Homo-oligomer: A and B are copies of this chain.
């Protein structure tokens, strides 16, 4: 799966994503559509992508969220395959998902259609190309709401125009520790770029993981937006790398001590909350990037970051009690770290 791989610039950039918001002409936005209209959205998209003529008909499948348990849906959100809003029960909702989980199309979220394409590492271009391919395919059989002057019409005015949002998931322990993140956040916002926690709007930055995304959708072409965004992300990545080296060299031993102790706790703890796991996995990621720990791969950390999430543990092991999950979580981590050492 894309979210466990370590891609280009994987020491800082965990993953890239491009999202396109689209709506079907003649059907009200999901919030105002009735049940039948919501179903119509789903049927039209399924037809466009899963029909035998579609290049995706063997590599994608449909998930009916209405038929799922809450924790199953939560597990999809934990893996960023859909937004937390999709957990709500108020609409007919579905997901068109590719087998490798790199394409996920949310149906009846805020807009009728939200195409998401994801890749490990810094791969905005690849995501953009893939998103366009899916978009073209849908537009080939479904009439999309588009205005000559404004561009794509979306539920929320902030998406009108390109309907596109490019984002990357970054691991920024040095910026967090050194306290420079808020000043960077301020200067980025003037460029139309937002930094948020790992699960987007309003979420905490668990494990020093942040989502950086472009906010502008009007007045520029997709290509221009993507190019500018890539440049800004590249600057942030460079800055984080410099800071890592600087704060590490300033207090080498106390730094190593802190990180290695965290590794010891990961390897020997008997119980661990998911918040603590995220913090310690961030330390581990940092240790690997600094070359302090060589026997664990970034892929292992990526995989663990998702494996230790609550809904994933519920789904995989049927453990509904939080205390018991803490025990299982410690066990999962221990096993993963033993295998690789």
Contact = CB atoms under 8 A, between A and B. Distances in A.
Contacts of A327: 253
Contacts of A253: 270-271, 323, 327
A101 to B, nearest CB: 33
A295 interface: no
A87 to B, nearest CB: 31
A267 B268 contact: yes
| Most B C-beta atoms less than 10 A away, residue of A264, A266, A267, A323 | A264
Contact of A270 (B260, B266, B330): B260
Contacts of A271: 253-254, 257
A269 B264 CA distance: 8
Contacts of A261: 264-265, 268-270
Contacts of A264: 261, 263-269
A261 B264 CA distance: 7
Contacts of A256: 270
Contact of A257 (B254, B263, B267, B270): B270
A154 B281 CA distance: 63
A143 B208 CA distance: 76
Nearest to A268: B264
A117 to B, nearest CB: 40
A326 to B, nearest CB: 8
| Most B C-beta atoms less than 10 A away, residue of A261, A267, A323 | A261
Contacts of A269: 257, 260-261, 264
Interface string A300-341: 000000000000000000000001000100100000000000
Nearest to A271: B257
A269 B267 CA distance: 13
A192 to B, nearest CB: 43
Interface in A253-287: 253-254, 256-257, 260-261, 263-271
A293 B290 CA distance: 31
A335 to B, nearest CB: 15
A254 to B, nearest CB: 7
Contacts of A260: 268-270
Interface in A96-118: none
A269 B269 CA distance: 15
Contacts of A323: 253
Given A253-B323, A261-B264, A264-B265, 17 more contacts: A253-B270, A253-B271, A253-B327, A254-B271, A256-B270, A257-B270, A257-B271, A260-B270, A261-B265, A261-B268, A261-B269, A261-B270, A263-B264, A264-B266, A264-B267, A265-B265, A267-B267
Interface of A: 253-254, 256-257, 260-261, 263-271, 323, 327, 330
Please give me the 7 A-B residue pairs with the lowest Cβ-Cβ distance, nearest first: A264-B268, A264-B264, A257-B270, A260-B268, A256-B270, A257-B271, A264-B265
